[in-house]
Amino acid sequence: AQTVTQSQPEMSVQEAETVTLSCTYDTSESDYYLFWYKQPPSRQMILVIRQEAYKQQNATENRFSVNFQKAAKSFSLKISDSQLGDAAMYFCAYRSARVVVNKLVFGAGTILRVKS
Amino acid sequence: GAVVSQHPSRVICKSGTSVKIECRSLDFQATTMFWYRQFPKQSLMLMATSNEGSKATYEQGVEKDKFLINHASLTLSTLTVTSAHPEDSSFYICSARSGRSVAGELFFGEGSRLTVL
């Protein structure tokens, strides 16, 4: 079974600075998808960024980018120019590309605090 | 992105009563929806996969008779917590995959906080 590990329960960053959240995963599959979701205090889950495993290029979405290391099974999220609104719990998630397997497997989450 | 709406957002009930939570896909049809449970500062735990027109698939350890799931239409799934007890108090979140999902990402409802007195 696939597992997702987020080893940082909490992280802090100064406003306007850069922070990196770690995520590793374990799978025997070669084709899959990886995601970062954000859950602010409102508890609404918001998709931050996605990465297809077959793509070598790291995904970017404005201030958010990932460092996808397939061989190392690592998928870290970098947030640049951190803003107060970035404060939230961040979840890394894995999904198999096999159509019959629809589930998202989530990591334990990392609480990100942004200091002004 | 696609919109998923949950109702109610908060519900308080007495022990022994049943509570129904609705999950609707507002701008797309969802043949499959997922129900999660989340405790404070913890991750999302998948409870069951709701399939339109058929029985839900429950994860190991989730009581089928306690958490009844009905997916009667392509835009509505309901979770009924039967004979609720204080230990059922939690945050319940539904999600669905839209045809617009690029990589199979899920779109989530706003969540429902259940408090059982």
Single-letter amino acid, residue A37: Y
Confidence band, pLDDT 50/70/90 cuts, at residue B112: very high
Q: What pLDDT, on a 0 to 100 scale, did the predictor assign at position A101?
A: 65
Average pLDDT over chain A, rounded to an integer: 94
B41 vs A: CB within 8 A: yes
Chain A residue numbers with beta carbons less than 8 Å from the beta carbon of B104 are 33, 95, 97, 102
Q: Is the pLDDT of residue A28 over 70?
A: yes
Chain A residue numbers with beta carbons less than 8 Å from the beta carbon of B41 are 89, 109, 111
Q: What pLDDT, on a 0 to 100 scale, did the predictor assign at position A32?
A: 93
How many CB atoms within 10 Å of residue A114? 20
Q: What pLDDT, on a 0 to 100 scale, did the predictor assign at position B30?
A: 87
Q: Two tokens at A98?
A: 């096999």
Confidence band, pLDDT 50/70/90 cuts, at residue A87: very high
Q: What pLDDT, on a 0 to 100 scale, did the predictor assign at position B53?
A: 84
Q: What pLDDT, on a 0 to 100 scale, did the predictor assign at position B90?
A: 96
Flag if A50 and B108 touch (Cβ within 8 Å).
no
Confidence band, pLDDT 50/70/90 cuts, at residue B2: confident
Q: What pLDDT, on a 0 to 100 scale, did the predictor assign at position A92?
A: 98
Q: Two tokens at A74?
A: 């690592």
Q: How many angstroms away from the CA of A32 is the closest CA of chain B? A: 9
Query: What are the backbone dihedrals phi and psi of residue B47, each rounded to the nearest 5 degrees, phi first?
Result: -95, -50
pLDDT in tens, A57-84: 999 999 999 999 999 999 999 999 999 9
Q: Is the pLDDT of residue B1 over 80?
A: no
Taking phi over 0 as left and psi of -120 to 50 as alpha, with beta for the rest, A62 belongs to: left
pLDDT in tens, B81-106: 999 999 999 999 999 987 777 777 88
pLDDT in tens, B36-60: 999 988 999 999 998 888 889 999 9
Structural element, H or E, at residue B108: strand B107-108
Taking phi over 0 as left and psi of -120 to 50 as alpha, with beta for the rest, A59 belongs to: beta
In A1-116 the beta strands, taken as DSSP E runs, fall at 3-5, 10-14, 19-21, 24-26, 32-39, 46-52, 60-61, 64-69, 74-79, 88-96, 105-106, 110-115
Taking phi over 0 as left and psi of -120 to 50 as alpha, with beta for the rest, A61 belongs to: beta
Flag if A35 and B105 touch (Cβ within 8 Å).
yes
The rounded radius of gyration (Å) of the Cα atoms in chain A is 14
| Mutation target vs A (from B3, B37, B38, B44; most A CBs, 10 A cutoff) | B44
Flag if B97 and A50 touch (Cβ within 8 Å).
no
